[in-house]
Structure 1
Amino acid sequence: MNEAPDDNGTTSGPGIGSDAERRVNLTRYLTRDEIEQVRARSTWRGIGMIAHCWGTIAAMMALVAWFPNPMTILLAIMVIGSRQLGLAILMHEGAHGGLAGNGKLNLWLSQWFCAYPIGTETLGYRRYHLQHHAHAQTARDPDLSLSAAFPTTRTSLMRKLMRDLTGQTGLKQRKAQFIGAFGASDMRVRERSAMFITRLGRPLLVNALLLAVLSVAGFWWFYPLLWVLPLLTWFQAVTRIRNIAEHSVLPEDNPWRVARTTYASRIERALLAPYWVNYHAEHHMMASVPCYRLERMHKLLRTKGIDGKLEIKPGYLAMLRVAAPRR
């Protein structure tokens, strides 16, 4: 499996000259045994997270089936949209090889149970994402545009979130995805069709299977209402909040602070930050640590007295106040 850079316990920092200057060597602070402990991977933990994610989605759909009313539908949209973010996070985990000890199994789990259902793909994401880890918070970071707009005004942030929650952002992204999947307009029809199938065939197949299962169960309308709608709305909003929390408004030229950790309450973990995604500073410290050991790594850094070097916020509301400090 391809791994993210800096798996030997180093992390890159923003805007600092040479590669050597842009790295923090964690082996100066953690022992070899401690590093091995936090990097240990469990296939059953990976499968368990996927099962938990889909089990939560199924439970919310069952709730609406038993008690169909506006309140349960709204709750289901929020929770399912958050678990769709959970699938994206688990796909990200698969891109780092963290879902299973076996590389082929890791990729299979990441593709079919995490990436394809939400219309994306692990291998393409991995190539893109490894560049983010190699050049985080520099001009070569492909994700820099996600944080460059901050700090901003609260009015601007609310406009962005309203576009997310009303489906405008999601529809725009899906339209661009479908158009891009057909390739260039000067290609032959057969070539464009083949490219479309290559790029979106499997995601469409998985979604067709999901629709078929819901139809057989007698709830075909759950697919547009409780799958597509959350994906176009709540998923977009919480993804934006997560992106803002991870990399926006960070100090310059500090290799310890290329990413932010945000403490999350139980409600925030349920609706904004599933599967330990809030421990993002630790993830950038050592990208090979599986997500379910990031909290343990955080506590370990705290016992070493070096957690103060990291960028940490006490909660997502506090973080948003930093990202949008003025009206």
Structure 2
Amino acid sequence: MTAAARVAPKDYFSTEEWAPLARKSAWKGPALIAHAWLVILAAAAMAMAFPITIPLAVMIIGARQLGLAILMHDAAHGALHPDLKVNDWLGEHLTPGGLVQYRTYHLGHHKFAQQAEDPDLGLSAPFPITALSLRRKIMRDLTGQTHFKQRWAPLFRRIAERTPDQSVLGILGRFVRSRPRFFIGAAVTIAATAPFGFWWAWFVLWWLPSATWLPLVTRLRNIAEHACIAKDEPDPLRHARTTRASLIERMFLAPYFVNYHCEHHMFMHVPCYNLPSTHRLLKAKGVMAGMLTAPSYRDVLRQASSKPVRADRGGGPTPEDRGVERALIQ
């Protein structure tokens, strides 16, 4: 297997320039985790006080759920805290979790970025797709269909395909035990809010964002990072894309500097909060001209949905469309 080409910090930075970029802070990573949870709590409080703001709260909370996943991603790179034990504890217990398994998988993506062995290649290979196909995917995300396929369809499939010696209650019990955070979090939140008349808070202000807005922004983030990049791309400055993000996009789509994805692939151990400084320094050195960048998320989506609709298919899903759907729900 051929690993993707890599760059070395010394190719672009002096020792004095590189040291602050690579430095891991003992407080910035934990502060970002605290920020994500505080924003979630503030949005939930806003929605409970003013129910008319529930749609806005769903978008804010869904974006911070993605933010927590992004911070777990930083922990997978050992970049959330200088003490690796603290780093791993934060990444396992204060973010979505599953850090060890994710680290093994994700480092394989970096090692083989955009090469045949890249485990994430299925996310980018089908693009570009048609605009109609992209709209269908967005609608499936926002209506919870993607979430159902990811989280619940396997359970119903196991129940439907059970053998005579398997009981429905046994299958349900194993399913619940395999997702302790989900069910314990639901039970604790409902118990804490129900006495005040907010029994619905967990369903509307945690589960609904995770079933609708989170799948959408996860998809759009994946598209921005690697869509329309050639398989076996030899240039390490073009294995991933950096996308300029406005304040609104950082609030609702690209939290915690995730839009600096080219810089992240070039220097994967740089903490996320140092990526803007890395970007500015590379720009000052004239390196940006050779990097894969986009002026906006709208521009990336335009590229990713530029495939013409074939008249003989009537705009229906292509095999490539179904392939990316399978990749996104694994």
Q: TM-score, normalised by structure 2?
A: 0.83
Give the match for residue 32 of structure 1: 15
Change (3 A) 1:128 1:261: same
Give the match for residue 311 of structure 1: 292
Q: Distance in 1 between matches of 2:283 and 2:62?
A: 33
How far the C-alpha of 1:170 sits from its partner, in A, is 0.4
Give the match for residue 281 of structure 2: 300
Render the CA deviation track for 1:243-289: whole Å, top value 9, x for unaligned.
00000112433221000000000000001100000000000001110
Give the match for residue 49 of structure 1: 32
Change (3 A) 1:210 1:143: farther
Is the contact between residue 181 and residue 196 of structure 1 (CA under 8 Å) also seen in structure 2? no
Give the match for residue 238 of structure 1: 217
Matched, 1:111 2:92: yes
Change (3 A) 1:288 1:210: farther
Q: Distance in 2 between matches of 1:217 and 1:95?
A: 39
**Which consecutive residues of structure 2, in runs of 5 or more, have no partner in the other structure?**
309-330
SS at structure 1 position matched to 2:293: strand
Which of 59, 67, 70 in structure 1 is aligned with 2:50?
A: 67
| Structure 1 residues 182-261: aligned runs within 5 Å | 199-215=178-194, 218-251=197-230, 252-261=233-242
Which of 289, 299, 306 in structure 2 is aligned with 1:325?
A: 306
**Which consecutive residues of structure 1, in runs of 5 or more, have no partner in the other structure?**
1-16
Give the match for residue 326 of structure 2: none
| Stretch deviating more after TM superposition (59-68 or 165-174) | 59-68
Is the contact between residue 2 and residue 112 of structure 2 (CA under 8 Å) also seen in structure 1? no
How far the C-alpha of 1:33 sits from its partner, in A, is 2.6
Give the match for residue 81 of structure 1: 62
1:271 maps to a residue whose letter is F
Is the contact between residue 124 and residue 229 of structure 2 (CA under 8 Å) also seen in structure 1? no
| Stretch deviating more after TM superposition (246-255 or 144-153) | 246-255
Render the CA deviation track for 1:66-95: whole Å, top value 9, x for unaligned.
2122xx111111111111111111111111
How far the C-alpha of 1:196 sits from its partner, in A, is 5.5
Render the CA deviation track for 1:90-140: whole Å, top value 9, x for unaligned.
111111122222222222222222115xxxx21111111111111111111
Q: Distance in 1 between matches of 2:26 and 2:157?
A: 35
Q: Distance in 1 between matches of 2:133 and 2:86?
A: 43
1:94 maps to a residue whose letter is A
Matched, 1:154 2:154: no
SS at structure 2 position matched to 1:264: coil
Q: TM-score, normalised by structure 1?
A: 0.84
2:118 maps to a residue whose letter is D
Is the contact between residue 181 and residue 195 of structure 1 (CA under 8 Å) also seen in structure 2? no
Change (3 A) 1:18 1:122: closer
1:32 maps to a residue whose letter is T
Q: Distance in 2 between matches of 1:236 and 1:48?
A: 25
Is the contact between residue 60 and residue 79 of structure 1 (CA under 8 Å) also seen in structure 2? yes
How far the C-alpha of 1:218 sits from its partner, in A, is 4.0
| Stretch deviating more after TM superposition (107-116 or 49-58) | 107-116
SS at structure 2 position matched to 1:140: coil
| Structure 1 residues 165-184: aligned runs within 5 Å | 165-175=142-152
Alignment length, in residue pairs? 303
How far the C-alpha of 1:224 sits from its partner, in A, is 0.5
| Stretch deviating more after TM superposition (215-224 or 304-313) | 215-224
Q: Distance in 2 between matches of 1:63 and 1:171?
A: 27
Q: Distance in 1 between matches of 2:273 and 2:213?
A: 24
Give the match for residue 124 of structure 1: 101
